[in-house]
Structure 1
Amino acid sequence: MIDTRLRRLLSPLLGRPRDRPESFRPRGTSSRVSRLAERYDVEVDAALQRLWPKSRIYHDREFTRDRADFLLVVRGRGVMVETKVKSDPGLFRGSTLPPLLDRLQRDGRRLIVVLNQGDPTPARALVAEKLGDKGCVVVWSGPHHDADLHGAVEALLQQMVRHQ
């Protein structure tokens, strides 16, 4: 009880600086893919900030299969962003996406899956089956793919009607 009260008293004085980006959620393991995924999340976050400097980006602090990694809000409209990392350049089937797709299908939200490498054809079919034109899969591995990422997100944003 003392710790809680002390934290409550000191938190206004020691609050997090606003100029620092929100910290990313810790991954569950220390595997090579998890380390790559953590680094990839940081790179995608930087790309989103670079492409939409006036946007707001919210990070999910927990690792769950049914929630996206980011919420990107541009001009009052939101798009969920899920990052996926493959350690090999093969096919990306999207086997981990169904819980997220089911939830977003119920909620009516838009989703962009950002993949670091590989052929996303099977995952694109899965996303199209579940979300239709409210979802897409883009391969992004650096600034040379910024145009693809920008175009995909803007296409999803154009579909949306702003809620009054």
Structure 2
Amino acid sequence: MIDTSIGRWLPFRSRRRTPESFRPRGTSSRISRLSARYDAEVDAALQRLWPKARIYHDREFTRDRADFLLVVRGRGVMIETKVKSDPGLFRGSTLPPLLDRLQRDGRRLVVLVNQGDPTPARDLISTKLGDKGRILVWSGPHHDTELRQAVESLLQQTTRHA
């Protein structure tokens, strides 16, 4: 029997790919770069708005943990960032595992989207978390006021962390 698989005959295909070289499912490298840049901008904004706060950034890609934990005056709010490549609707299809976990834990959440209309996701967050969740479009310092208001309103609801 003759091997007709072209991949076995090409020399550059002979390298084995390690799991680290795979892209996260459904995420293009362009979106990954945009996401990393957006996370850095959000981190800078959190430091700018709450200079005395502790900011924890989850560097591991997971669907059930938020990207940031912001602890201000002993109270915490989870921050999830979402990057869209187009200005259309943000439906929040990747949010349910995170929302389910936060619903069980009783945590507060702010979802930041770089662009688009978050109305469908706002309904999803409201259904799962009620008044413990917020979503807003944040694309730079000109949206800092909305970010501060969303986080501060949740901080007033939160019980102290140990």
Class of the TM-score when normalised by the shorter of the 2 chains = 0.7 to 0.9
User: What percent identity do the matched residue pairs reach?
Assistant: 82
Q: Distance in 2 between matches of 1:141 and 1:95?
A: 21
C-alpha distance in structure 1 between counterparts of 2:137 and 2:131, whole Å? 17
Match of 2:13 in 1: none
- Counterparts of 1:22-41 in structure 2, within 5 Å, are 28=24, 31-41=29-39
Structure 1 segments (4+ residues) deviating >3 Å: 27-30
Q: After the TM superposition, which residues 70-149 of structure 1 pair with which residues of structure 2 at under 5 Å, given as runs? A: 70-149=68-147
Q: Distance in 1 between matches of 2:87 and 2:161?
A: 40
Alignment partner for residue 67 of structure 2, among 54, 66, 69? 69
Structure 1: runs of 5 or more not aligned: 1-26
Asked if 1 retains the 8 angstrom alpha-carbon contact of 2:76 and 2:161, the reply is no
Distance in structure 2 (CA, Å) of the matches to 1:61 and 1:163: 22
In the alignment, which of 52, 60, 70 is matched to residue 50 of structure 2?
Answer: 52
* TM-score relative to the length of structure 2: 0.82
Q: Is the CA contact 2:45–2:144 (under 8 Å) kept in the aligned structure 1?
A: yes
Structure 1 CA distance for aligned equivalents of residues 124 and 58 of structure 2: 23
- Determine if contact 2:78/2:107 at 8 Å carries over to the other structure: yes
State the AA in 2 paired with 1:89.
Answer: P
1:155 aligns with 2:153: yes
Superposed CA RMSD in Å reads 1.3
Deviation at 1:159, TM superposition (A): 1.0
Residues in 1 aligned to 2:146 and 2:130: alpha-carbon distance in whole angstroms: 19
Q: Distance in 2 between the 1:76 and 1:127 partners? A: 24
What's the CA shift for 1:35?
Answer: 0.6
| Structure 2: stretches of 5+ with no match in the other structure | 1-22
Cα deviation, residue 163, structure 1? 5.2
Deviation at 1:61, TM superposition (A): 2.4
- Hey, what's the Cα distance between the residues in 1 that align with 2:127 and 2:28? 33
Which structure's CA Rg is the greater one? 2
The alignment of Structure 1 onto Structure 2 pairs a total of residues equal to 138
